[in-house]
Structure 1
Amino acid sequence: MSRLIVVSNRVPAPEPGTPPAGGLAVALSGAMKERGGIWFGWSGRTLPAGQDEPEAPELVESDGVTYGLLDLGERDLDDYYAGFSNRMLWPLFHYRMDLTEFTRVNLGGYYRVNRLFAKQLLPLIQPDDIIWVHDYHLIPLAAELRAAGLQNRIGFFLHIPFPPHDIFTVLPNHADIVRRLAAYDVVGFQTPPDVENFETYVRREGVGRRLPDGRFLVYGRAITVDDFPVGIETQVFATTAASANRHALVRRMRESLEGRKLLIGVDRLDYSKGIAQRIQAYETFLTLDEMWRGRCTYLQVTPKSRGEVPEYVAMEREVAELAGRVNGAHAELDWTPIRYVNRTVSRNTLAGLYRMAHVGLVTPLRDGMNLVAKEYVAAQDPEDPGVLLLSRFAGAACELEGALLTNPYDVDGTAGAIVRALEMPLDERQDRWRRMFERIRDRDVAWWRNNFLEALERPAPEATRPGKIAVVR
């Protein structure tokens, strides 16, 4: 069995005796322990002042996995991470053209860091290793490795949406990004619409087509392009939620509700999550349906993120002000309409909060998948499940047909959907939940991982095996 080399922007630094943190770490840790391999990426540390490039990655062994930890300079982080990745690609791929900021300096940093990753990774690769690269930060990596002569099988998975042609072509270097995607053997997206967007792009730009065998010919290379929707550890999360009443914080939360119904939203602080629109919809719900005042509580858990990006700082202020306004207008002495928590809550505690929540509010303006939706479903009591209120613009909407779909831009419509969710009869709730649970049970994180790796390990026909390709600088 070939070793697996995983490459991601950030490496989950190993802590002996501590389970892996983060969805990607949970998804891949088992496969890496079974196969052996390397997890390679940024360490989270910065280089000393005056040092432009690390001499070599730090290699740390833990539970059969080697972690390759690469330090980056402040300039690289500014240009590659905070700059091109998160002020150009992230907003554009989430359909927010108004928030994109393109500079040649940031683009140069993006390519420069990908070249650095390739240079530092190459000495660690063995001839039969398979390489799995993750997310938008590292799209150019395979092309850099191919330019150095690497012929190993290399796969790429995009965790965020792939936008339609008319949005994607706002990116000044869109053609080069797709050319570099073509250096992979397998390109994975979250949903069928993402694959359709990619196919439309290559057809309209005249750079590729779908082959009779289902693969795509893009810039002269035959590659596999398909959807591989990310899952969760469904049974593990369900078991955790069922036993969560043992946690003191979960018990205190239940007692503090005093019989009121709980609505819950859990999102990283990001403009793609639709948190402001959700709070406005909840305020409209309270205004138009007075019978629910004092009978329900909305808990919004929103850890901070990307504090170095000005848009996120402004959003943090906007959301806090909105929550304060709603509470100021509607609160009573013994009832606070919104409980806004601006910090991380442990996974076990979240499982218990999901289970007691009558409505799960997952209403992003655009999302690649959104695993909170799947966690909420997994956490429910089969005898008395809650209702998932889900944005039709989340990738999860392609899978969770039992969810109550809503348009987060339609504040009044979302307010009405909240009423419907709170008043939904038990038999309908059970039917909707059962269909969703069966889906996420059968297509869990192991299913996702194994499907992608099976596609990646499938031998390429002789005529399409990669050779050394040119990289446009």
Structure 2
Amino acid sequence: MGGSLLSDKEPNNRLIVVSNRVPSPKGAGGNQGGLAVGVMNALQKADGLWLGWNGEIDGDNNAQLSHYDFDGVRFATFPITEHDHKTYYTGFSNEILWPLFHYRPDKVEYSRESLDGYLRVNQRFARHIKPLVEPDTRVWVHDYHLIPLGYYLRQTSVDAPLGYFLHIPFPPWDVVRILPEYEDLLRYLTSYDLIGLQTEIDLKNLRDCMVMALDARDLGDNVLEVEGRRFKIAAYPISIDVNDAQDLAKKGEQSATGQRLKRSIGDRPLVIGVDRLDYSKGVYKRFQAFERLLENAEHQRGNVVFIQISPPSRTDVHEYAQLRSTLERVAGHVNGRFADYDWTPLRYLNRGYGREAVFGFLRQSRVALLTPLRDGMNLVAKEYVAAQDPEDPGVLIISHLAGASWELKDGALVCNPYDIDGVSDMLEQALAMPLEERKLRWRRMMDVLETNDIHNWSQNFLAELMEMKLANSASQ
């Protein structure tokens, strides 16, 4: 997360970004997620502060904020208790909201204890933020862990512009109302001035829920009114820093790690998947599609290599430990069936790599196979496109259930991840695609990324947040 600091700071305008976790300076060279890359630029340009949980467990419910500076941004962090971690983070956030918002109600493990913890920690966030808010402060809250935060800030008389961005999908009405307190959850969202979502589908789903559950009035231009309060909902598809991605990819390819991969692959075409270990990513079906390719295309045996990188996550959740075992078993099955003494078709890597290394891997890959069963955006798809050599670009295969497919559909091969035969056929098409078609498809996708990069994303959101706050103030 490199970047300069103070040359273009906005005068007299402070920004507080709030998220569940904040990036640690110790891991700054690692594989930071889309949220970290997405907001650092905005914070560097403003008098910015990033507040959130530091990832540590502490028995003290009253622990104060710890402050540090890194890369031109001030950070304020605090620990949470073991009980709050179990209820707020593991429980409500990741065993209830995560599966529900990814259209998997069968995996929801609801309890009132988890709800209590979720609300309690959101109240604690509000208490930490309240003293930091000044007359010119804007507050930008991120993701599903902190939906009620805006409500609790309003309860403490914070009148600052409040923006909220949801990085994961927002499900339809019939899925949302599986949650016992769904009306309260929606009402919490009305405390924000601007709610950002990834796609037009998410936008439609949220609007429908507001109308059905809270009798929201649609005032036009994506402005809704609930119980006298007006707020705007809009789609802001998150993106990447294209120049940074290109630089990282070139460095990664030439690095010792990149050259080691090149030697191990030789002249064979490389297929790559990069996903955090999660059931929403569709890796199990992806392995099945690759196995089907080897069944049907004998000329690919001994030739194509598939590398799947899946860093572990939420290791304290049983579902994830079970998924890891399943993927290890399937990878072993595929290799046991097809491998030869000089060729291992499927390399399943259950570990993380630094950003430079990953971008170098992406640049060397003829095909990116990204087939989530549901995904808010999938920034790896955009990173893959930006990482390519313009003279010899690879092919992106993306699930039509990933938000990125809407922006990249004119250049990518868009698949249904549940169609094993279809994904297998698409893999064969991608591996055989001639250079001129690959260049044409890549250029179409790059045009999208260069038009809507991460800097435009944050600038557009924050500008619209101020417009909506001013409109609300004028109407009061």
Superposed pair shares fold, TM > 0.5: yes
Query: CA separation in 2, counterparts of 1:383 and 1:18?
Result: 29
Give 1:446's aligned amino acid: H
Query: CA separation in 2, counterparts of 1:110 and 1:17?
Result: 28
- Say which SS state the counterpart of residue 343 (structure 1) adopts: coil
Give 2:55's aligned amino acid: G
204-213 or 335-344, larger mean C-alpha shift: 204-213
1:195 corresponds in structure 2 to: 203
Residues 1:319 and 2:327 aligned together? yes
2:413 corresponds in structure 1 to: 404
Match of 1:253 among 251, 257, 261: 261
1:186 corresponds in structure 2 to: 194
- Say which SS state the counterpart of residue 217 (structure 1) adopts: strand
Query: CA separation in 2, counterparts of 1:335 and 1:129?
Result: 58
Say whether the 8 Å CA contact 2:99–2:108 is kept in structure 1: yes
2:424 corresponds in structure 1 to: 415
Match of 2:33 among 11, 14, 22: 22
Once the two structures are TM-superposed, the CA of residue 213 in structure 1 deviates from its matched residue by 4.1
Give 1:254's aligned amino acid: K
Say whether the 8 Å CA contact 1:33–1:65 is kept in structure 2: yes
Once the two structures are TM-superposed, the CA of residue 15 in structure 1 deviates from its matched residue by 5.1
Provide Cα deviations, 1:255-275, integer angstroms capped at 9, x if missing partner.
211211100001100000000
2:46 corresponds in structure 1 to: 35
Say whether the 8 Å CA contact 1:327–1:337 is kept in structure 2: yes
Once the two structures are TM-superposed, the CA of residue 250 in structure 1 deviates from its matched residue by 1.1
1:438 corresponds in structure 2 to: 447
Query: CA separation in 2, counterparts of 1:357 and 1:16?
Result: 26
Q: Which runs of 5+ in 1 are unaligned?
A: 468-473
Residues 1:9 and 2:20 aligned together? yes
Query: CA separation in 1, counterparts of 2:390 and 2:28?
Result: 33
Residues 1:429 and 2:438 aligned together? yes
2:120 corresponds in structure 1 to: 112
Once the two structures are TM-superposed, the CA of residue 14 in structure 1 deviates from its matched residue by 3.3
* Percent of aligned positions that are identical: 45
Query: CA separation in 1, counterparts of 2:124 and 2:28?
Result: 32
Match of 1:297 among 292, 305, 312: 305
Residues 1:238 and 2:246 aligned together? yes
Say whether the 8 Å CA contact 2:29–2:355 is kept in structure 1: no
2:461 corresponds in structure 1 to: 452
Query: CA separation in 2, counterparts of 1:4 and 1:10?
Result: 17
1:65 corresponds in structure 2 to: 73
Query: CA separation in 1, counterparts of 2:189 and 2:464?
Result: 16
Query: CA separation in 2, counterparts of 1:317 and 1:23?
Result: 27
The CA RMSD over aligned residues, in Å, is 1.8
Once the two structures are TM-superposed, the CA of residue 27 in structure 1 deviates from its matched residue by 2.1
Matches within 5 A, 1:332-343: 332-343=340-351
Query: CA separation in 1, counterparts of 2:63 and 2:353?
Result: 37
Once the two structures are TM-superposed, the CA of residue 254 in structure 1 deviates from its matched residue by 1.2
Match of 1:353 among 334, 358, 361: 361
- How many residues were matched structurally? 464
Say whether the 8 Å CA contact 1:268–1:305 is kept in structure 2: yes
Q: Which runs of 5+ in 2 are unaligned?
A: 1-11
Once the two structures are TM-superposed, the CA of residue 70 in structure 1 deviates from its matched residue by 1.1
Say whether the 8 Å CA contact 1:45–1:72 is kept in structure 2: yes
- Say which SS state the counterpart of residue 116 (structure 2) adopts: helix
Query: CA separation in 2, counterparts of 1:109 and 1:317?
Result: 30
Once the two structures are TM-superposed, the CA of residue 461 in structure 1 deviates from its matched residue by 5.3
Query: CA separation in 1, counterparts of 2:386 and 2:281?
Result: 21
Once the two structures are TM-superposed, the CA of residue 389 in structure 1 deviates from its matched residue by 0.5
- Say which SS state the counterpart of residue 211 (structure 1) adopts: strand
132-141 or 421-430, larger mean C-alpha shift: 421-430
Say whether the 8 Å CA contact 2:314–2:320 is kept in structure 1: yes
Once the two structures are TM-superposed, the CA of residue 11 in structure 1 deviates from its matched residue by 1.5
Match of 1:308 among 316, 340, 348: 316
Give 2:279's aligned amino acid: Y
Once the two structures are TM-superposed, the CA of residue 47 in structure 1 deviates from its matched residue by 1.3
209-218 or 403-412, larger mean C-alpha shift: 209-218
Query: CA separation in 1, counterparts of 2:58 and 2:15?
Result: 28
- Say which SS state the counterpart of residue 460 (structure 1) adopts: helix
- Say which SS state the counterpart of residue 226 (structure 1) adopts: strand
- Say which SS state the counterpart of residue 42 (structure 1) adopts: strand
Once the two structures are TM-superposed, the CA of residue 206 in structure 1 deviates from its matched residue by 4.9
Once the two structures are TM-superposed, the CA of residue 466 in structure 1 deviates from its matched residue by 9.9
Residue 274 and residue 26 in structure 1: after superposition, are their counterparts in 2 closer, same or farther (change >3 A)? Answer: same
- Say which SS state the counterpart of residue 139 (structure 2) adopts: strand
Query: CA separation in 2, counterparts of 1:18 and 1:292?
Result: 36
Query: CA separation in 1, counterparts of 2:419 and 2:401?
Result: 12
Query: CA separation in 2, counterparts of 1:460 and 1:24?
Result: 23
Match of 1:280 among 278, 284, 288: 288
1:374 corresponds in structure 2 to: 382
Tell me the TM-score normalised to structure 2 length: 0.94
303-312 or 211-220, larger mean C-alpha shift: 211-220
Say whether the 8 Å CA contact 1:241–1:352 is kept in structure 2: yes
Once the two structures are TM-superposed, the CA of residue 69 in structure 1 deviates from its matched residue by 0.8
Match of 2:222 among 190, 214, 217: 214
Provide Cα deviations, 1:422-471, integer angstroms capped at 9, x if missing partner.
1112221111110001101111110111011111111535666799xxxx
Query: CA separation in 2, counterparts of 1:319 and 1:75?
Result: 31
Query: CA separation in 2, counterparts of 1:88 and 1:385?
Result: 40
Once the two structures are TM-superposed, the CA of residue 249 in structure 1 deviates from its matched residue by 1.6
Query: CA separation in 1, counterparts of 2:100 and 2:361?
Result: 33
- Say which SS state the counterpart of residue 458 (structure 1) adopts: helix
Match of 1:82 among 65, 69, 90: 90
Say whether the 8 Å CA contact 2:142–2:167 is kept in structure 1: yes
Match of 2:403 among 371, 395, 408: 395
- Say which SS state the counterpart of residue 311 (structure 1) adopts: helix
1:471 corresponds in structure 2 to: none
